[in-house]
Each structure stands twice: as structure tokens, then as C-alpha cells.
Chains A and B, each alone.
Chain A
Amino acid sequence: MELTSRTPAGPLAEKWDNHRFANKLVNPANRRKYKVIVVGTGLAGASASATLAEQGYEVHTFCIQDSPRRAHSIAAQGGINAAKNYQNDGDSIRRLFYDTIKGGDFRAREANVYRLAQVSNDIIDQCVAQGVPFAREYGGTLANRSFGGAQVSRTFYARGQTGQQLLLGAYSALSRQIHKGGVKMYPRREMMDLVVVDGRARGIVTRNLISGALENHAADAVILATGGYGNAYFLSTNAMASNVTASWRAYKHGAGFANPCFVQIHPTCIPVHGDYQSKLTLMSESLRNDGRVWVPVATGDKRPASAIPDAEREYYLEKKYPSFGNLVPRDVASRNAKEQCDQGKGVGSTGLAVYLDFADAIKRDGQATILKKYGNLFQMYEKITASNPLHEPMMIYPAVHYTMGGLWVDYDLMTTIPGLFAIGECNFSDHGANRLGASALMQGLADGYFIIATSIAHYLGTNKLEAVSISDPQFLAIQKEVGDKLHRLLRNSTAGPAGKVTVDEIHKELGKLLWDNCGMARNRQGLEKALAQIPGIRETFWDKVFIPGIGGELNQSLERAGRVADFLEFGEIMVRDALTREESCGCHLREESQTEEHEAKRDDANFSHVSVWEYKGDEHEPLMQKEPLSFEFVTPSQRSYK
């Protein structure tokens, strides 16, 4: 596996321009001869499909849901960043670049991040032209807000449904191309494997989720836009069907997997309340602008919040971080909440929650003002918990939210398998070890609308590809492997459920192991324990999993089983990656790497690199290679929020 980033030469601001000029093009008349597969229809996949079809390529697009409009990008609440500087508050492309790379704790490539900031402005223009109803000022100009502690107001939003509106914009562009025949859409299809012919990605095998049929699809290039792997933890803010399968299949065919241990844990989620819980719900972190975080001073204090006088409350963030207080970054807020709960100060029935209290803000600004700002969030909270934050403090706890790691890609967003590209959350490219708020939407659309078409043209323009057919031996062999695997998953089921385990039981066991040992704070001992235990869970799964029904039908248990089977393999490289990264960085604290004040200590001398994992067969340990990161234009600094 060779890691050539193809980062263009020249001054930072000219790299993207130079690169576009150096890249080959495909004549408009020839584009229709090329077929491109896009897997996934979130912001990245939908925008890429539409854009490539507009340019004349034959695009075949796949999604797991019943409609491309439902991908999980739709759930993003807060907003999308752009360096428009409409507020005249000192923002610039350079500043958005710097904030993003600093927010990522200096673990991303400068050139990629700069390009992201450069195209951010085009994204806003594009979305406005599509009719995305962004929030406006009374004079009719676009409104902005400051988000996630940013010092400038650069976040564009559509109420608390920015992801929905941007996705529906991309979906409408995609729908237009479906209508015009530029895109052939395959909903309710799950990508089961990648087909590599002569070292190049040439197609995929999908399972039709209605009929259960396995289908081969051939193309000249394959683009994965399949999202993140947060559901490895079972409980996360991801949609239920979000999974790692497509990326994992690519990895097993030779695509490097970068920084799998970089996982963002969001501090303001509704706490877990029972064993039956299926997912976690995020509450926008804007709540921390006015809410005060506290726990009782005494451990095991089970009095209701209202019965605990102020002197017996510990406002631990305000105490520890006097200058940032409740607005410390996500990782610091998350880690401290866990620390308080680990000390036995957690509240609620499970003891795994802290209070987020609006009483003082209401006293200061009045109920009406607070409701104007957070009314919809209070309503959502009340709907789920039956408790009104106006009268009693919210309870919050951190939850897995976003995965910065993903398939390694070069500057063209191509993986280490020629012809296989990865865009959006499923690549590792722009967020380093921690993603800034309102940057996920920006990256998905940057990759899809403005970057990938250049890469596809260059790839197709520089490589002579032999024709392939879905009945070629390589396709048939992969389809057979997929069929055999499904068969193996179902083999325990003939003897009935006695003495067996369900898919969810195993998934929960894996999830808890990862959460406890490879979550926001990690240490060697815990990671080694997790690494030792995962094979046993995997074995139980394959030996005992009971899946009702058959393969040739709509079978949701079988769908989940296939995804969990891959999480059980993937979990291992997550833990391995966390073991080798012996520094605290971005979202995670490595307990062995702390300052004297127990704050995260990054180690640039030894870990200023991307860790890229290479598959070496099931019988061998994966090999880790490093892509060194060099900083020509910024100087890595240590974060401090004291």
C-alpha cells in the first residue's frame, strides 16, 4: 500500500487552482461513455450524483433507505459554515481554514482543509440557487450565527433543520437528474462488497432489500459516500441503518483505513434510560450558551435537583475552566461529564447524567427570551423525557456522534484502490482528530458538489480501462462470497432459537466494550482488554446468532446481522489504532498522556501523523503505516481553556 497524498505544490491559496489545472479533463462528448457508481445519498452522495450526471457521466446511485431523501445527513440540526464574512466580523477563508485545522488538533492535511474553506462559499451560493430556505434578516440578506464557540458568525442555518434542507436541496438536484435519465437510482439496496478487477475498483455487489436478490453492478469508477461508523458502539446519535460495511469491504480489498480511533463524542445528548434503548438523541450544543452544567457536591446524592441548595452544587466546568466555563469544546465537556459520573456524582435513575440548568438564565433574561432561543429543543426534550426544562434542569450525557476516521484518501479523494473514491464522513480527510460544529455539512457538500468531479475526470482521463461485465469471473466470485457469507449467517437458524443469541445482544455487548474502553478516555490496560475480548464476542456471534427467516426475502434481522458482523471485525482496528496512538488528541484523552493539571497532552514529536491500517488477511494482524503531517503554513499550538 502506497500513501501518496498528491498534495499540489505552490502557495496554500493556489494549490487547488494548480491542481485543477494539472488534472486531466474528459471531453464533454466522451463523458456519457463512462459509468460511475455512487453508494449513498447523503449530502456527499446526492450532490456528487447530481453533479456528475449534469456533466454528462452515466451515474448509478444506490441507497439503503426507501428513498434517497432519507439519508442521515437529514438529521443535522445546527448549520453549515462558510467563509463569506457577510457579518464583516473579520472572517476569511484563511480564518475558517485555521479554525478547522486547529479544531482538528493539527491532525489533518493543510491543503485539504484549505480547499474546504475555499469552496465553502460556493456551497452557500449553490444551495440558495436551489431554493434552500436559509434563515434571513429582515432586510432579506442571509442570517448567520456563531456556533460551537467560534468567534465569528459564519454559520448559515434553516431553523434547527439545516441538514434536512441542504439534503432536500441535493435530493432535488438528484431527482432532476433521475428524471432526465442522467442518474439511475437504486433505492433499498445495500452494498455487500466491492469488485476489484486488475487492481482497480470496477463495481459492487448489492443486496436488494425487498427481494433479497444479490445483484452485480459494473462501472468505470466507484464512489463511496456511505457515512460514519459510530454505530459500532451500538448506541449513538446515528440513524439505525448507518454502518461500516461498505468502507470495511473496501478495506478488505486493500483500501487503507485512516485513524479509526478518532470518534467524536457529543456532550449534550439525552441520557440512556434503559436496556431497551435503541439510539441516542442529540440536543444542539447551543444549549450550553445559557445552561449551567452541574452535579451534586456529595457523591450518591439522590435528592431531586430542586432540593439541592446552591452551595451543595458543583458547577464543575465553571470551576475548572473559569475563562470558557460551560462553553469548553465538545471533548472537554464530554470528558468532564464522564469523570463526574465515574466519581459517583451522576444524577438520574442510572447515575449516568449531569444537569444542564436554565434557572439562572430564565431569572436573568425571562422565560420568553429563553423559549425564543431554545423553545423547539425544550419541546423535543419534553417529548422524549416528559420533563420540562423550564421547571427542572435538563439531564444530559455524552454520546457517540461523528467519526473523523475513515477511508484514507489522497488530495483527489481517491483511496489506495485506484478508481475507488470516498467522500463525506466515510473518508478521513478534513477534520483531523476533532470536527468543528457546522463543518460536517460543509465537507459533505464540498466533496460532492465541487471536488469529486475534478477527480473523476482526472482518473478517467489518465487511465485506459478495459471493458468489464457483471458476468465476468471476478464479479461472479464476489457474488458467490457474499452469498456464502449470508448462508453462514443463517446456518444456526435451522435448529431453532434455543441456546442462541440475537443480533442485538451481540451488538450491545460489542458496543459496551468499545464505549467503556475505547471511548472518550482510554488507557493501555482497557484497550488491551477490549482487544482480547472482541474475538470471543465475534466467535459467539458466528456460532450462536439466531436469525429468523431466509435470505431471499425482506429480512431486517439478516440486514442487521451483516452489519454487526462487520462491526465485530472493524472494532478491532479501532482498538488497535487507539492503542498505538499514545497521545491525547482532539476528541480523546489517552490517560497516560496528560499534563500535570490532568488535561489532554498532545505529542507532536511522535504522533503528528495519520495512522493508516492495511488489511493483511484474516490470519494476520493488520499493518499500520504512517502518513506524516507537516505544517508549512500554521504552527501547531496546544489548546488551553483554563
Chain B
Amino acid sequence: MSTIDLTLQIWRQKDSDSPGNLQIYTLGGISTDMSFLEMLDVLNEKLTREGKDPVAFDHDCREGICGMCGSVINGVAHGPEKETTLCQLHMRNFKNGDVLVIEPFRSRAFPIRKDLIVDRSAFDRIIQSGGYVSVNTGGSPDGNSIPIPAKTSELAMDAAACIGCGACVAACPNGAAMLFTSAKISQLCLLPQGQAERKARALAMVATMDEEGFGYCSNARECEAVCPKGISISNIARMNREYFKAVLLGE
């Protein structure tokens, strides 16, 4: 087992209202088999034993699927490994002596709550405004009553794989949430079940995205580059088509 020594510069901020700054910590003997979050656990145990306040960070499943974790590592959301959440990033991606700058996902629409923890409830409100098929429980037709070509289903699944982590917003120079929003709009507009509300959904979700203070897409493609689930920006193109069709043709 090889180990490395690191210098960490971590964003510390007491709460939403206090100013924050980068603080420097040195951490030795980090096993390269550790995950990034386990490295932070080690730092936090050390800080606790020293009577200091540990670094607050969001995390839960640690399997790369819940979307709770995420920080910007040396300027890259979720760190250097492609299609990998922070919890699945391992320390073997770093070298002895590396300096790691660890910051929260920053965006106007994601206020910082403490240290690396941000408030992503704007994402929930985007979904609440139309990211669903309006069916109540019960009385649904047999699952096989509408055949859906395997290819369509796969395409919908590609978009549905979004974990809502917010890396796309943090990476976007405009703080846009268009990859996130378009993933849900794509999933539902591709499937027959989503047709009835197709136009209303596009209009409502785009409007909410704007109200929440997210920016617009300028094709920088940064979102796609950091997305841990490889969601394609072709979804944004599809969302734009859905939106314009709805605006031009009305409901």
C-alpha cells in the first residue's frame, strides 16, 4: 500500500451569512486506495482530535448514485477523473506533494450553507414545476400495453441517469442548469407517457430554471465534461427544440 502527503486548501465558511476563506491543512500518510471522501474523513478525525471544527461536506451513498456529494477540486467539479463522482474518486489519482484546492459547487442559485455544503433545492423546484407525468396511483394500463422501441427506451434512460448533483451548474461559466433540466425534459418527451404534457412541461421547467437564477447555455460544454453520468449536451439541444416548439405553436 503506497501513501502520499498532501497540502489541502479548503473553503471554510461558518454559515450562509458569514464570509468564507481558504484554509490550509497538511495531511500525511494518505493511502492511495482511499476514496476522496475517506481522505476528508481522515482529515476530520484529525481536526476533531485537535479540538477543531471538522470540514462540513455532503455525502451519503458513497457509491456514486445518490448525487449528494460534490466539490470542486483544483477547479474541476468532482475532480480529475472522468465520469466519476467525488465519492468514487480515489487518491491514486494524486501524487505525493500535490496541493489540492477544495471548494464548494459555486453558483448564484446554490447558496453555501457551510464549508462545502450548498443548497441545491432549486433543482427540486425545477422538477416540481413539471418534471413528471401527471398520473395518480392506480388504474394504470398494463405495462406492455404501449410498446416502446428498445432504442427509445435506452435514449430515455441515458437522460434519466442524471443524479442531480449540480456539477453541471458549478462547471458552467454562466451557472446554467440546462443540462440538468434538459435531461428530465428529454427523458419524458422521448417516451409515449410524456406526450400529453410535453409542451406545458418544457415551458414550465424552463421558466422555473430562469426564476431560480440559473444562467443560459453558451455551448461551453463544461457541463458535459464534468457530468459524472456522462449526460450529453444533445439533451440541451432537444430541450431548446421542445421549448421553441411550445412557444411558437402554443399548447
> Which residues of A come within 8 Å of B, CB atoms?
47, 50-51, 54, 65-72, 74-75, 84, 86, 122, 124-131, 133-143, 158-159, 161, 163-165, 168, 171-173, 175-176, 178-179, 185, 187, 210, 239-241, 273-274, 276-279, 281-282, 349, 383-386, 449-450, 453, 496-497, 502, 504, 546, 548-549, 553-554, 556-557
* CB of B238 closer than 8 Å to a CB of A: no
Contact B129 A557 (CB under 8 A): no
Contact A549 B88 (CB under 8 A): no
Contact A278 B157 (CB under 8 A): no
Known: A130-B133, A131-B187, A176-B134. A158 touches B157 (CB 8 A): yes
Further 7 A-B residue pairs, CB within 8 A, beyond A126-B140, A276-B41, A497-B50: A75-B61, A122-B140, A128-B143, A130-B133, A239-B66, A282-B63, A554-B117
Contact with A along B162-191 (1 / 0, CB 8 A): 011000000000000000000000011001
Question: Which among A124, A133, A171, A241 is the interface contact of B143 at CB below 8 angstroms?
Answer: A124
* CB of B21 closer than 8 Å to a CB of A: no
Interface of B is mostly: loop
A391 to B103, CA, bound (A): 38
Binds A, one of B72-80, B94-102, B147-155, B216-224: B147-155
Known: A66-B119, A142-B143, A556-B54. A75 touches B153 (CB 8 A): no
A413 to B188, CA, bound (A): 34
A173 to B142, CA, bound (A): 19
A272 to B28, CA, bound (A): 21
* CB of B138 closer than 8 Å to a CB of A: yes
Contact A75 B66 (CB under 8 A): yes
Known: A68-B124, A72-B60, A279-B62. A126 touches B153 (CB 8 A): no
Question: How many interface residues does B have (CB within 8 Å)?
Answer: 78
B123's nearest neighbour on chain A, judged by CB, is A67
Set of chain B residues within 8 Å of A548, measured between Cβ atoms: 47-48, 51-54
Set of chain B residues within 8 Å of A502, measured between Cβ atoms: 45, 48-49
A67 to B67, CA, bound (A): 10
Set of chain A residues within 8 Å of B160, measured between Cβ atoms: 133, 158, 165, 168
Set of chain A residues within 8 Å of B1, measured between Cβ atoms: 274, 349
* CB of B194 closer than 8 Å to a CB of A: yes
Contact B137 A449 (CB under 8 A): yes
Contact B45 A67 (CB under 8 A): no
Contact B137 A133 (CB under 8 A): no
Q: How far is the CB of B49 from chain A (nearest CB, A)?
A: 5
Contact A131 B59 (CB under 8 A): no
Contact A129 B141 (CB under 8 A): yes
B192's nearest neighbour on chain A, judged by CB, is A131
Contact B132 A172 (CB under 8 A): yes
B118's nearest neighbour on chain A, judged by CB, is A66
Set of chain B residues within 8 Å of A383, measured between Cβ atoms: 81, 84, 88, 90
For chain B residues 1-55, which have a beta carbon within 8 Å of chain A? 1, 14-15, 31, 33-35, 37-38, 41-42, 45, 47-54
22 interchain pairs (CB within 8 A)? A67-B120, A70-B60, A70-B67, A70-B164, A72-B60, A74-B61, A126-B140, A128-B140, A131-B193, A133-B156, A133-B191, A134-B153, A142-B143, A161-B65, A187-B124, A273-B33, A276-B34, A276-B38, A282-B63, A383-B88, A449-B137, A546-B49
Known: A128-B143, A131-B188, A131-B191. A278 touches B33 (CB 8 A): no
A32 to B141, CA, bound (A): 28
Contact A130 B124 (CB under 8 A): no
Set of chain A residues within 8 Å of B34, measured between Cβ atoms: 274, 276
* CB of B121 closer than 8 Å to a CB of A: yes
* CB of B239 closer than 8 Å to a CB of A: no
A279 to B1, CA, bound (A): 19
Contact A175 B131 (CB under 8 A): yes
A273 to B35, CA, bound (A): 11
Contact B121 A66 (CB under 8 A): yes
Question: Which among A84, A136, A178 is the interface contact of B128 at CB below 8 angstroms?
Answer: A178
Known: A65-B60, A70-B60, A497-B48. A54 touches B136 (CB 8 A): yes
Contact A84 B143 (CB under 8 A): yes
Set of chain B residues within 8 Å of A158, measured between Cβ atoms: 157, 160
Q: How far is the CB of A242 from chain B (nearest CB, A)?
A: 8
* CB of B237 closer than 8 Å to a CB of A: no
Contact B58 A497 (CB under 8 A): no
A295 to B79, CA, bound (A): 37
Set of chain A residues within 8 Å of B132, measured between Cβ atoms: 130-131, 172-173, 175-176
Q: How far is the CB of B118 from chain A (nearest CB, A)?
A: 9
Q: How far is the CB of A495 from chain B (nearest CB, A)?
A: 10
Question: Which among B51, B61, B135, B138 is the interface contact of A130 at CB below 8 angstroms?
Answer: B135
Contact A125 B193 (CB under 8 A): no
Contact A129 B135 (CB under 8 A): yes
Question: Which among A67, A71, A281, A553 is the interface contact of B63 at CB below 8 angstroms?
Answer: A281
A171 to B162, CA, bound (A): 14
Q: How far is the CB of B165 from chain A (nearest CB, A)?
A: 10
Known: A129-B135, A133-B153, A546-B48. A140 touches B148 (CB 8 A): yes
A168 to B162, CA, bound (A): 10
Question: Which among B67, B92, B153 is the interface contact of A135 at CB below 8 angstroms?
Answer: B153
